[in-house]
Chains A and B, each alone.
Chain A
Amino acid sequence: GDSVTQMEGPVTLSEEAFLTINCTYTATGYPSLFWYVQYPGEGLQLLLKATKADDKGSNKGFEATYRKETTSFHLEKGSVQVSDSAVYFCALSDNTGNQFYFGTGTSLTVIP
């Protein structure tokens, strides 16, 4: 069945460092791919998404490119801030949009 595998954490970076969180997926058909973020004490919220191969999602300085050939959707940011400290979840939705699959989450802590 469909599934998502993401890099395990926790990840600790200094402010302004480069961030990569790896995510790979297994799916039949043509899924849509998402990154969700959960800030401390808050619910999950969408960070960015890509709905077809080679699409790049971007938001708040974060980017991820839908790579069908490597079945990947890695999250990157060139210069992290303390306010980026959160848990990041990679997710996919199946062909119907009726089922979403989430990775286990990667905790990021950015220190000043």
Chain B
Amino acid sequence: GAGVSQSPRYKVAKRGQDVALRCDPISGHVSLFWYQQALGQGPEFLTYFQNEAQLDKSGLPSDRFFAERPEGSVSTLKIQRTQQEDSAVYLCASSLGSKTGELFFGEGSRLTVL
């Protein structure tokens, strides 16, 4: 597709369930980022891939969060044993990977943990 695609758009999980969020970046984009956006806040960095390599995962809040991009294209963010504080919008963005390049964002996946 022409833009960054994320699925599902909305996910409701019971506390303790595992969830998987998918991101399909713009074709040819080397860099892929995951952000967490709480209500009324700006995006907070989670992790970054360059092709299939996860170069920075310093923003992942706990070891329950895991991200992968095995073929350097589609990425999945997995959250195990979800907690209420995980409720947020999870944003995926991709870019060509240069310092001056812009990020292209998907519409996000809104996760609500009950």
Contact = CB atoms under 8 A, between A and B. Distances in A.
Interface of A: 32, 34, 36, 42-46, 49, 51, 89, 93-105
A105 B40 contact: yes
Given A46-B103, A49-B102, A98 B48 contact: yes
Contacts of A43: 4, 91, 105-108
Contacts of A103: 42
Nearest to A46: B102
Given A102-B43, A104-B41, A105-B41, A97 B100 contact: yes
Contacts of A97: 31, 95, 97-101
B55 interface: yes
B75 interface: no
A102 B108 CA distance: 16
B65 interface: no
B56 interface: yes
Interface of B: 4, 31, 33, 35, 40-45, 48, 50, 55-56, 91, 93, 95, 97-108
B99 A105 contact: no
B31 A98 contact: yes
Contacts of A95: 99
A105 B43 CA distance: 9
Q: Which interface residue of B31, B55, B103 has the most chain A CB atoms within 10 A?
A: B103
Contact of A44 (B31, B43, B99): B43
Contact of B103 (A42, A96, A100, A105): A100
Enumerate the 7 nearest inter-chain pairs by beta-carbon distance, A residue then B residue, closest first: A97-B99, A102-B42, A43-B107, A44-B105, A51-B100, A43-B105, A46-B102
B105 A45 contact: yes
Contacts of A96: 99
13 contacts: A32-B99, A36-B105, A44-B105, A49-B100, A51-B100, A95-B99, A97-B98, A98-B48, A98-B55, A100-B103, A101-B45, A102-B42, A104-B41
Contacts of B104: 46
A89 B102 CA distance: 13
